[in-house]
Amino acid sequence: MDSPRIAELTTAAVGGPAHHYVRADAEQDVVDAVAAADAEGRPVLVVGGGSNLIAADAGFAGTVVHVASRGADVVAEEPGAAVLEVQAGHPWDDLVAAAVAQGLVGIEALSGIPGTTGATPVQNVGAYGQEVAQTVELVRAWDRHEARVREFTPAELAFSYRDSVLKRTTVEGSPRFVVLAVRFRLARGAESAPVRYAELARRLGVAVGERAPLAAVRDTVLALRAGKGMVLDPADRDTYSTGSFFTNPILPADLLGDRVPADVPRFPVADAAGRLLEDRVKLSAAWLIDHAGFGKGFGLPGTRNEVLGLDGAAVAGGRASLSTKHTLALTNRGGASAEDLMLLARTVRDGVASVYGVDLVAEPVIVGTAV
């Protein structure tokens, strides 16, 4: 088949042509495609749902492996729990919807996140008080260095905030370990895991730490995400993005300078085992962006950063802007290039650093260009 533009494979809808394209519909197809590219010395870019990827306008001069394997099966039953094995290309929200319908607990607050299941352990996907590190039991992956299938336990994955050994061994979208399948251990029950996120708890009418009906948690999360432009909608340009572009910065608690206001929202930091790290503090990237003068929609005609004296439309000609619903999302308003998004990202990053002395870190995989 003709090679598509990477823009056609990603939610931000940017990126040039793939030199060589392979769609892998089964686990062995993924292994074969990656192994063949490695044997021929071609660079490899692995794409799933494309919801966390920005590729350069020049495209990718190698093999793009589009992981499209499907399937989610219960492989073990335990007292009060089930173990599911899910293929890497299985749509993540399809899995969450099925889990909620079957009374399986532990990923309901991760509803509405775009992309595929195989991507979730790579960056330890999380939202609304849950992250996949809490339920992943095993990841099966192709080790390109050793040319063999390996299995990783949670301890071997070394999960941390939006990070894992899978991510740390990925260079410009080219991973050492290509995820083939993920196993999750999910409790059985009619109610959710304890609700840990204050905004979600308020909307559900429960206290933080209490439980709520599974379906109610999913429905409420979907509504919250939709209100922030974080649920894919072809008619809504605010959803043409990679979701949250910057991670919430984690800083040593004793190194917060005078430039960081006392009223910036702060969150506790825990390790993969759930132990609080008293010497670390997580700050709200959205708050820092907004209060550095980058309001919702910055980048559109008529917008301006009064703190720094910046005209919004001058950054990328109005083709790229912050979402009109949420300052963390950088959006393609129609016709944006990857470089347009990078110009906007650099402007926001440098602006926050100049006002608050905090360096924001991009969350998406960025290939062939840089913030």
Task: Measure the CA–CA gap between 243 and 114, rounded to whole angstroms.
Answer: 9
Q: Which of 108, 144, 160, 162 is catalytic?
A: 162
Count helices and strands in the chain by DSSP H and E runs:
9, 22
Spacing of C-alpha 82 from chain mean position = 25
- H or E segment to which residue 200 belongs: helix 198-204
Task: Measure the CA–CA gap between 81 and 104, rounded to whole angstroms.
Answer: 8
CB contact at 8 A, 71 and 86: yes
> Any catalytic annotation for residue 244?
yes
Q: Which of 51, 160, 164, 244 is catalytic?
A: 244
Beta bridge partners of 126: 131
- H or E segment to which residue 164 belongs: none
> Any catalytic annotation for residue 363?
yes
Q: Which of 27, 108, 131, 363 is catalytic?
A: 363
> Could you give the count of Cα atoms lying within 13 Å of 116 in the half-sphere of its Cβ?
26
- Residue 268: how many CB atoms within 10 A of its CB? 10
Task: Identify the CA nearest to 330 among candidates 264, 311, 315.
Answer: 315
Beta bridge partners of 77: 82
The residues that are catalytic are 162, 244, 363
